[in-house]
């Protein structure tokens, strides 16, 4: 069973894709794939700096979940025939730099980054859930299941960040705001490009 215990049947024929709102599905899967890719790179950057510290196992646990999320969205890209964003090479570097840079501020800095990113992503997933519910909850039932499960995982990561003193990071509110503005820009661009 794939990530989060959620399975999704593959759409191997054109008939399986009929009746879907292609622009909505393309946008959702493309941006979610990019987001999970970026999250993986953030955690890779954090592990490069803090992997051997006391918080290393916590970061590794969250990263493992993100790896499962990315694997699932890789599968969905194929199943729904969605092309990835052309910005993946940029997110590769930007994600790693954000993760490593926040980790250079110490455990609290890394956790502040986690809180900011995961809050943005769970809010984004909630928006997608509303969109799919308005479209047709039955038609998008399986995709909704995946997104809801991953949203819950992101909320858990957010809470883990708070439990590990994210709010005590230097200039927490400034750091959080800057990271969340970056997330909004990344979401906007990845949905479209």
- Three-state DSSP class for residue 165: coil
d(CA 184, CA 63): 21
Is residue 110 within 8 Å of residue 102, measured between CB atoms?
yes
Query: 16 lies in a domain?
Result: no
Q: What is the pLDDT of residue 17?
A: 72
Give the whole-angstrom CA distance, residue 56 versus residue 59: 5
User: Does residue 151 sit within a domain?
Assistant: yes
Mean pLDDT computed over every residue of the chain: 93
Residues 22-30, mean pLDDT to the nearest whole number = 96
Q: What is the mean pLDDT of residues 10-34?
A: 79
Q: Which of 96, 131, 119 is nearest to 172 (CA)?
A: 119
Confidence grade of residue 65 (pLDDT, cut at 50, 70, 90): very high
- Note whether residue 30 is domain-resident: yes
Instruction: Please state whether the predicted TM-score (pTM) of the whole model is above 0.75.
Output: yes
> What is the arithmetic mean of pLDDT over 131-155?
96
Q: Give domain status of residue 4, yes or no.
A: no
pLDDT value of position 182: 97
Question: What's residue 35's pLDDT?
Answer: 97
**Does 11 reside within a domain?**
no
Q: What are phi and psi of 85, to 5 degrees?
A: -65, 145
Cα 125 → chain centroid: 9
* For the chain, percent of residues with pLDDT exceeding 70: 92
Number of domains in the chain: 1
Whether the predicted pLDDT of 158 surpasses 90 = yes
Q: How confident is the model at residue 18 (pLDDT cuts 50, 70, 90)?
A: confident
**Long-range Cβ contact pairs of 21-27 (< 8 A, separation 24 or more):** 21/135, 24/131, 24/132, 24/135, 25/80, 25/82, 25/143, 26/80, 26/82, 26/83, 27/191, 27/192
pLDDT above 70 (res 145) = yes
> Is 163 inside a domain boundary?
yes
3 lies in some domain: no
**What is the percent of the chain where pLDDT is above 90?**
90
Question: With 60 as the cut, is the pLDDT of residue 114 above it?
Answer: yes
CATH number at residue 27: 1.20.1260
Average pLDDT over residues 71-88: 97
Q: Indicate if the pLDDT at residue 4 is higher than 90.
A: no
Report the SS3 class of residue 140.
Answer: coil
Q: Are 67 and 44 in contact (CB under 8 A)?
A: no
Asked whether residue 10 is domain-assigned, the answer is: no
Calculate mean pLDDT across residues 21-42.
97
Rounded CA-CA distance 133/131 in Å is 5
Q: Name the CA dihedral angle for 151, 107, 92, 115, rounded to a multiple of 10 degrees.
A: 30
Residue 117 structural domain: 22-191
């Amino acid at each position: 069973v794939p990530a989060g215990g959620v399975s999704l049947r593959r759409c191997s024929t054109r008939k399986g894709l009929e009746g879907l709102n292609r622009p909505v599905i393309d946008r959702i899967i493309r941006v979610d794939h990019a987001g999970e890719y970026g999250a993986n790179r953030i955690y890779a950057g954090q592990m490069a700096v803090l992997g051997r510290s006391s918080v290393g196992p916590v970061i590794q646990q969250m990263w493992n979940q993100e790896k499962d999320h990315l694997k699932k969205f890789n599968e969905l890209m194929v199943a729904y025939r969605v092309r990835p964003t052309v910005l993946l090479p940029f997110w590769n570097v930007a994600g790693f730099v954000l993760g490593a840079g926040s980790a250079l501020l110490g455990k609290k800095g890394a956790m502040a980054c986690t809180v900011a990113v995961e809050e943005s992503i769970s809010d984004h997933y909630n928006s997608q859930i509303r969109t799919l519910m308005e479209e047709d909850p039955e038609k998008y039932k399986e995709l909704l299941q995946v997104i809801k499960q991953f949203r819950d995982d992101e909320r858990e990561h957010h809470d883990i960040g708070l439990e590990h003193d994210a709010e005590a990071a230097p200039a927490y509110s400034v750091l959080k705001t800057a990271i969340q503005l970056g997330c909004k820009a990344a979401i906007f661009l990845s949905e479209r490009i």
